[in-house]
């Protein structure tokens, strides 16, 4: 993990963490609006849609970031699909605020995906392409669509929360490491 932090500045990690928090915040707001719009209870269960292993503590940083990045990528694909279906099936039903929030969430999730991809690249991993090769979801009816969209939003929130936790863990580990000496100062010391 320390190697990752050597390759990527702390500021960058902090920025990605803040971005993950923004995504979570935006997703929370969207869920509130969605529940309000669809009259869904707050504690309603959702189906899992992203079947990627959670970045557990046993994995190394690269694997964690890979897992996170992949999960976020799946989320983004699902969200894109959800938006497309909503626009197709529910166009005119959603409020402007909902649409705006949904659009921001999509953009910020993409930014988060790109940012974690950068961290993964710095950690030696390979960022995924934002292409979902799985078969696109086709709801059987509108009710199923609404439940599916709710599940998508819950997945986005889950993975954004996962991102926050993982990145804060990275920050905490980096904070324990002694500050890295610059090359210049090393050279001057040797001289």
Partner 1 sequence: MMSSMVLQLFGLAFVTSVLHGHEFSTHLVTAPDLPVVEIGTNFTATCVIVNTVEATADNLYWNLSESSVVPEKNYIKINESALAVTILISGEESEWLFCICKKNSPYVSLNKSKFIHGIYLKKAYPPRRVENLSCVAEQAGKMVSNTLNCKWDVVGGQTEDAKTNYTVMVQHDSGTYRSSTTILNTTFVDLGLFPHYMQLEVWVVAHNLLGTVESEHLKQDANEFVKTHPPSKVTAIPEEPFPNSLLIKWQHPIDDVRIKLTYQIRYCQSGSHAWSYIPLGDTDKVITSFRLQNLQPYSAYVIQMRCRNRDGNSGRWSNWSANETKTTPEDRPRSKPDLWQLSGGDYGEEVQIICKDPKHANGRITSFGLIPYTKNGRLEQEIILADQNQNSSESRVTLLKKISLADKQLVKVCVNANNSKGTSPEACLGIPVRSSERPTVEELKVWTQEGQMFVEWKRPNNTGVTEYVVEWARPGKTDWQRENKTTTRTAIKGSLEKFVRYNVSVYVIQSGRIRKLVHREAYLEQGAPEQGPTINKSYPAYDNARLVWDEIPLDKRRGFITNYNISYRKENEAPKSIPVPANKTSYTLTGLLGNTKYEVWISASTVAGSKNSNPHSFTTLRYAPGTIEGIVVGVSLGFLFFVLMALLLCFLKKDVLKENFWPQIPNPGESTIGNWSPDYPPKEETPKENCVSGVSVLDVGVCEVKLGFEEDKTSLSLKKGKYLSEEHSSGIGGSSCMSSPRQSVSDSDEGPDLADSTASTVQYSSVVASSGYKGQTPSSHSQHSIFSRSESTQPLLDSEEHPDVSLQEGCRQVQHPPRPSLFTGAENQNSMESDDFRLLGVDHHDFCPLREDTELTTEPDSLSADTESAAVSSYMPQLGGYRPQ
Please, what is the minimum distance in Å from the beta carbon of residue 22 to partner 1? Answer: 5
Please, what is the minimum distance in Å from the beta carbon of residue 69 to partner 1? Answer: 12
| Residue whose entry in the numeric block shows the structure tokens 């953009």 | 107
C-alpha–C-alpha distance, residues 154 and 174, integer Å: 30
Choose, by CB under 8 A, the member of 115, 151, 160, 162 that binds partner 1: 115
| Residue whose entry in the numeric block shows the structure tokens 């999509």 | 106
| Interface with partner 1, residue 18, by CB under 8 A | yes
* Nearest Cα to Cα of residue 166 among 24, 39, 27: 24
Nearer to partner 1, 75 or 147 (CB): 75
| Interface with partner 1, residue 14, by CB under 8 A | yes
C-alpha–C-alpha distance, residues 44 and 146, integer Å: 13
The backbone torsions φ and ψ at residue 124, rounded to the nearest 5 degrees and listed phi first, read 100, 5
C-alpha–C-alpha distance, residues 128 and 37, integer Å: 34
C-alpha–C-alpha distance, residues 66 and 184, integer Å: 33
The encoded tokens of residue 122 equal 């710095």
Please, what is the minimum distance in Å from the beta carbon of residue 121 to partner 1? Answer: 10
Per-residue binder mask for partner 1 (CB under 8 A), 22-61, x = binder: x--x------------------------------------
Choose, by CB under 8 A, the member of 37, 46, 63, 111 that binds partner 1: 111
| Interface with partner 1, residue 114, by CB under 8 A | yes
Note the residues at the interface with partner 1 (CB under 8 A): 11-12, 14-16, 18-19, 21-22, 25, 103-104, 107-108, 110-111, 114-115, 117-118
């Amino acid at each position: 993990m320390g190697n990752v932090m050597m390759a990527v500045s702390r500021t960058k990690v902090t920025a990605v963490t803040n971005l993950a928090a923004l995504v979570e915040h935006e997703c929370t707001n969207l869920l509130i609006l969605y529940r309000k719009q669809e009259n869904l209870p707050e504690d309603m269960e959702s189906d899992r849609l992203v079947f990627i292993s959670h970045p557990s503590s046993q994995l190394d940083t690269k694997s964690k970031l890979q897992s996170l990045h992949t999960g976020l990528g799946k989320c983004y694909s699902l969200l894109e699909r959800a938006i497309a279906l909503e626009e197709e099936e529910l166009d005119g039903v959603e409020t402007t605020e909902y649409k705006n929030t949904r659009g921001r969430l999509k953009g910020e999730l993409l930014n988060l995906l790109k940012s974690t991809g950068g961290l993964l690249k710095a950690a030696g991993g390979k960022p995924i392409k934002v292409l979902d090769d799985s078969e696109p979801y086709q709801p059987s009816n509108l009710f199923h669509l609404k439940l599916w969209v709710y599940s998508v939003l819950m997945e986005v929130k889950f993975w954004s929360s996962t991102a926050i936790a993982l990145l804060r863990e990275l920050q905490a580990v980096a904070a324990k490491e002694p500050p890295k000496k610059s090359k210049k100062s090393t050279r001057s010391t040797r001289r």
